């Protein structure tokens, strides 16, 4: 599983990454987490508002920071 956190590196982007790591750990899932900060790359996913979460190439969340419990549904 490849997970991408899209965003500029702001506080919300970091929080999304933390919550994602926590959810993965609680579920026992081994995944690769990549940070995408280049706006051209972010826009290639159709995302105009960050942070966003992409799981295996599909945008699951954009423009907000879901809790780790909510993220479990997407993983």
Find the largest Cα–Cα distance for the chain.
Answer: 33
- For the question of residue 1 being annotated catalytic, the response is no
CA quadruple 54, 60, 64, 67: dihedral, nearest 10: -100
- For the question of residue 13 being annotated catalytic, the response is yes
**Given the structure tokens 């479990």, which residue do they identify?**
72
- Of the residues 1, 2, 9, 10, which is catalytic? 10
- Of the residues 3, 5, 6, 13, which is catalytic? 13
Q: Is the peptide bond before 51 cis (omega within 30 degrees of 0)?
A: yes
Which residues are catalytic, by number? 10, 13
């Amino acid at each position: 599983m490849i997970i991408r956190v899209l965003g500029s590196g702001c506080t919300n982007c970091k929080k999304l990454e933390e919550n994602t790591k926590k959810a993965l750990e609680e579920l026992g899932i081994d995944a690769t987490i990549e940070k995408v900060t280049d706006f051209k790359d972010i826009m290639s996913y159709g995302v105009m508002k960050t942070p966003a979460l992409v799981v295996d190439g599909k945008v699951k969340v954009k423009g907000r920071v879901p809790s780790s419990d909510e993220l479990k549904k997407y993983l």
